[in-house]
Amino acid sequence: MQPPQPRRIAIVSDCVSKPLFRLRAEDVGCEIAVEHCDIDQHLQVLLSGVDADALVLHVGFRYFDLREPMGSVRQRLDELITGIKRFLQQTSAVLILNTVTPPTHRLVGRDHLEALSMTHEINGRFIDLARRERRVALADLAAVLTSVGLDRAINLQNDWVMRMPFTGAAVPAISSEYAKVLRERFVARKKVLVIDADNTLWRGVVGEDGVEGVDVGEDYPGAVFHAFQRQLLVARRSGLVLAMVSKNNLADVQEVFARRSMPLKWDDFTTHRVNWQRKSENIASIAQELDVGVESFVMIDDNPFELEEVSRSLPGVTCVQFDWQKPAEALSLLFKTPGLSAWEVTAEDSRKALQYAEESQRREIRASAGSLEDYIRSLDIRIEVGRNRLAALARVSQLTNKTNQFNLTTRRYSEAEIRDAMADGAVYDFRVIDRLGDMGIVGVVIVRNGEIEAFLMSCRALGREIESNMLAYVCARHRSQPLRATYFPTAKNAMVSNFYDRNGFELRQAIDGKKQYENVGMQRTLVPVPISEVD
């Protein structure tokens, strides 16, 4: 079995970095290997490069001493930006910067204004880099330290004695911010938010208090629920799927949505389970309906008993309690729960809820179709394929990191690694469209040095001969020489263990489940799906 490769993280800092990066795999969401570079060697590391997936370039008031003349600080900033640009040209690593805080003490008011202005300039240039360069991310440490409180977060005596200015109150918060940025870059995002109704979407129990008795208004405590619903609506627009699971009478819950003015509407939930069954059974049913693993689910409920029941029955589900009596905590759940944030939202992400609704219609058509060929033809499926398209870079990288079941090698690629593969070989992205809607880019094949080193497809596109048509297309494009291919077994990809066998590849070697193949001509008769090439 192919072991997961840890993400290699290099760190260079103007303070002792080890306390800030005692990160476990569960903090980031994947195995990591951390290398701590020598202190204060920012430019040297940038110019020499690092053999890592990400470089954290931590800077603070040691690096930018705002007590110095502003001309000197600006020169130091210019040198750093120049080094960053050269680093991005020479390596494929992700670069993580951080925002800096302004000085809190002053002797001369106008000098302090200059220091404040310089702080904004530093942060502004870092922000601009992160907006323009896809491989630059930003940890907002200024916001983190402000939240902790600068007097509680920084101890200047420790800085001078040990080169560690941050206190025990600040270190966990800083580590958490860096962990979030790393997770956003290298780990697949959660997909489904399972939301309770009573005392989670509104205050009260509709079966006891009635439709008019539940509170979801502008005044406390209803305002807490109103604000939470607005957050859920934003989460849905960002690509997270909302599902409702509530022990209730269906008619009562539907009546609340019909009669009460609320940010969320009934149709904002892709699927509903409003009944008296165990919530774990309902969540398992939703996972089957959406064809999504429960490890991609986050359950939010006010009841500790229900959370415990789901946690015991479905350990992969992340369970979070919503306590409306602690508004600050309740309204920060979506931002603090690991796996819910994303660095950016692709076009496919923003259409996720609609795509699941379309998929439900496809299943209904499949159930009534006489044959697979009839089903495929009734959908009027067509495939668009692009090769080495920079416009598809983010989506291709995302699919390699989130696709587990229909994935022949489960190799993960950063955007920089996809860019390298485009330069060295061919990266194909496959978009599927039918009469019900646009499924977006659902398949990726990477060919380099005569080998299919990655072949993967979203499971929601299965059962339509799309995967075999993808393989046939790639083989036709590379027919000048036989293509090699490999299947690496994992805990989740057994469904594709015989994919190459079924499609006419010849098995050359099999050791401990790993199978190596060569294309000797696809022998299988396909149900053809039209494929067109796009730029």
Domain boundaries along the sequence of the chain: 7-186, 192-336, 353-533
Return averaged pLDDT per consecutive 10 residues of the chain, 535 residues in all. 73 94 87 94 94 94 89 95 94 94 82 91 97 94 95 90 94 95 90 97 96 94 97 94 96 97 95 96 93 92 97 96 96 94 80 75 77 82 94 91 90 89 96 89 96 92 88 91 92 92 92 91 71 91
pLDDT reported for residue 1: 41
- Overall CATH class of domain 7-186: alpha beta
| Fold (CATH) for 192-336 | Rossmann fold (3.40.50)
Tokens at residue 150, please? 């600068």
CATH fold match for the domains 7-186 and 353-533: no
- How far is residue 74's CA from residue 83's CA, in Å, rounded to a whole number? 14
pLDDT reported for residue 4: 59
What's the maximum distance between 2 C-alpha atoms anywhere in the chain?
Answer: 83
The answer, as to whether pTM is greater than 0.95, is no
State whether CATH 3.40.630.30 applies to domain 353-533.
yes
| Residues 6+ positions from 432 with CB-CB distance below 8 Å | 381, 382, 383, 438, 439, 440, 442, 443, 461, 464, 466
- How far is residue 505's CA from residue 328's CA, in Å, rounded to a whole number? 58
| Contact (CB, 8 A) for 381 and 432 | yes
| Contact (CB, 8 A) for 379 and 365 | yes
Q: Are strands 484-487 and 437-448 parallel, antiparallel or unpaired?
A: unpaired
| Contact (CB, 8 A) for 166 and 20 | yes
pLDDT reported for residue 404: 87
Q: Residue 427: beta bridge partners?
A: 446
Taking alpha carbons only, the member of 378, 353, 492 closest to residue 435 is 378
The secondary structure of residue 351, as a DSSP letter, is T
